[in-house]
């Protein structure tokens, strides 16, 4: 088990040879990892999941994070066919905004669309957007009474009135099922939220378009990313190398802005009652280093670093994955691991096909 220690200046690595612990038998690296690694979900909601990934190298943790961000496929609007758009938002801006809307459609139910010419019901979902902002045929101020501006204003703000603005949101997107989609999709395709503002229309303006969605990954376009954030940090470890007791314990507890330490009473038959600081909530630590900072003219301010060692576990990762809404948070993690596995399988096959023969330059 390795650690990284933070001192007042700089990070110091502390490596312990783990190879020596391995028995002489030829266990493969995968077996070694399988024996010591685990995943434990610590918090799970509809929006985000926090879990511990323990016993693997950073390179694997980072591969999973990168895959979640950029390679887990989702569905998003890719092509927009505009029949009518008299609003102030230009066609290309409108199309771009439509593309960014997260869609609640399971990408596993669809195949990849390689060429827009090959669009079928198994690789494309279609949404229609038809909005006409009402307009009164009668001139808005035909019955205008100069002595009653309030009533006039009210009339103008009603639908059709010249002060009325029509709001176009994702609620106006209508799913148009293609082929067998109504039978093979477990639920109707829809945007994740129905209150996302797409554009606004003045009276008389209209939008009529058809939006085609397909499967993609965020490597191609960030709109396909299933996560809002996917990040990890290493578990902090705080060692009290010398007992921190009495007033020093209180001073340490009060110093920590995240309240990582608790004070325990020491009960002994002989001698006066005493107290001792213990590390109670190391997960809350943000590595602010306040506890090891040298502070002059404060009790215990000059040598706290001799008592407290701030470290991080090198193989204990606290992941936090927040979904953008298309997929359940744990599903994203599950998919990410499956994608890394698929990469390994793909390249093993390629290696086998090549027979190990050299390529010509």
Partner 1 sequence: MADEKSLRILGQPDNERERTFIFRDEDHTLGNALRHVLMKNKDTDFSGYSVPHPSEPFMHVRLQTTGAPAVRIMDEGLSNLGQICDHLTAQLEAQGATASWPTGGETTS
In whole angstroms, the minimum distance from the beta carbon of 178 to partner 1 comes to 20
Query: Residues 175, 188: contact at Cβ < 8 Å?
Result: yes
Taking each helix axis from N to C end, the angle separating 329-354 and 58-70, rounded to the nearest 10 degrees, works out to: 110
Nearer to partner 1 by Cβ, of 141 and 354: the residue is 354
Q: For partner 1, which residue of 41, 241, 295, 298 counts as binding (CB under 8 A)?
A: 41
Told to check if 88 binds partner 1 by CB under 8 A, we report no
Told to check if 206 binds partner 1 by CB under 8 A, we report no
User: Taking the CB of residue 69, how many other CB atoms lie within 10 A of it?
Assistant: 20
Told to check if 67 binds partner 1 by CB under 8 A, we report yes
Told to check if 56 binds partner 1 by CB under 8 A, we report yes
Tokens of 250: 């209180």
Nearer to partner 1 by Cβ, of 218 and 310: the residue is 218
Nearer to partner 1 by Cβ, of 303 and 345: the residue is 345
For residues 288-347, which are near partner 1 according to CB under 8 A?
A: 327-331, 333-335, 337-338, 340-341, 343-345, 347
Told to check if 62 binds partner 1 by CB under 8 A, we report yes
Strand partners, 74: 216
Query: Residues 291, 259: contact at Cβ < 8 Å?
Result: no
Nearer to partner 1 by Cβ, of 142 and 358: the residue is 358
Told to check if 34 binds partner 1 by CB under 8 A, we report yes
Taking CA atoms, 147 is separated from 61, 141, 143, 150, 211, in Å, by 72, 13, 12, 9, 48
Told to check if 217 binds partner 1 by CB under 8 A, we report no
Distance CA 211, CA 168 (A): 15
Distance CA 273, CA 238 (A): 25
Q: For partner 1, which residue of 83, 91, 93, 108 counts as binding (CB under 8 A)?
A: 108
Nearer to partner 1 by Cβ, of 70 and 176: the residue is 70
Give the list of residues 6+ apart from residue 76 with CB closer than 8 angstroms, or none.
99, 100, 101, 102, 103, 213, 214, 216, 221, 223, 224
Tokens of 315: 């193989």
Q: For partner 1, which residue of 1, 4, 5, 44 counts as binding (CB under 8 A)?
A: 44
In whole angstroms, the minimum distance from the beta carbon of 104 to partner 1 comes to 8
Distance CA 99, CA 75 (A): 10
Length of the chain: 361
In whole angstroms, the minimum distance from the beta carbon of 260 to partner 1 comes to 20
Q: Please provide the DSSP assignment of 242-281 as one string.
A: S--BHHHHHHHHHH-TT--EEEEEEP-SSS--EEEEEE--
Nearer to partner 1 by Cβ, of 93 and 342: the residue is 342
Q: For partner 1, which residue of 24, 30, 139, 267 counts as binding (CB under 8 A)?
A: 30
Distance CA 110, CA 260 (A): 48
Told to check if 228 binds partner 1 by CB under 8 A, we report no
User: Which residues sit at the interface with partner 1, rule CB under 8 A?
Assistant: 26, 28-34, 37-41, 43-47, 51, 53, 56-57, 59-60, 62-63, 66-67, 70-71, 106, 108, 327-331, 333-335, 337-338, 340-341, 343-345, 347-348, 350-352, 354, 356-359, 361
């Amino acid at each position: 088990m390795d650690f990284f220690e933070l001192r007042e200046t700089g990070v110091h690595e502390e490596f312990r040879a783990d190879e020596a612990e391995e028995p002489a038998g030829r266990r493969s690296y995968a077996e070694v990892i399988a024996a010591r690694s685990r995943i434990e979900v610590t918090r799970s909601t509809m929006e985000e999941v926090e879990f511990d990934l323990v016993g693997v190298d950073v390179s694997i943790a980072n591969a999973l994070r990168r895959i979640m961000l950029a390679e887990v496929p989702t569905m998003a609007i890719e092509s927009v066919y505009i029949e009518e758009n008299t609003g102030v938002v230009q066609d290309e801006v409108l199309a771009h905004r439509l593309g960014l809307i997260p869609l609640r459609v399971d990408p596993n139910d669809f195949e990849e669309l390689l060429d827009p010419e090959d669009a079928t019901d198994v690789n494309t979902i279609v949404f229609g957007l038809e909005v006409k902002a009402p307009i009164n045929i009668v001139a808005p101020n035909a019955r205008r009474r100069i002595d009653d501006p309030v009533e006039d204003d009210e009339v103008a703000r009603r639908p059709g009135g010249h002060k009325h603005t029509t709001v176009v949101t994702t609620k106006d997107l209508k799913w148009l099922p293609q082929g067998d989609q109504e039978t093979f999709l477990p639920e109707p395709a829809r945007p994740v939220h129905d209150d996302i503002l797409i554009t606004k229309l003045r009276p008389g303006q209209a939008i009529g378009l058809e939006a085609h969605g397909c499967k993609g990954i965020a490597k191609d376009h960030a709109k396909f990313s299933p996560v809002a954030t996917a990040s990890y940090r290493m578990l902090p470890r705080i060692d009290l190398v010398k007992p921190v007791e009495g007033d020093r314990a209180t001073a340490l507890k009060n110093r920590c802005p995240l309240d990582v330490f608790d004070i325990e009473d020491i009960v002994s038959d002989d001698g006066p009652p005493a107290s001792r600081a213990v590390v109670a909530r190391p997960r809350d630590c943000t590595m602010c280093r306040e506890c090891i900072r040298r502070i002059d003219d404060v009790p215990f301010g000059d040598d706290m670093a001799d008592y407290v060692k701030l470290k991080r576990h090198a193989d204990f990762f606290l992941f936090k994955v927040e979904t953008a809404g298309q997929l359940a948070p744990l599903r994203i993690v599950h998919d990410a691991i499956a994608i890394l596995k698929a990469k390994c399988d793909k390249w093993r096959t390629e290696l086998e096909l090549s027979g190990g023969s050299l390529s010509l330059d």
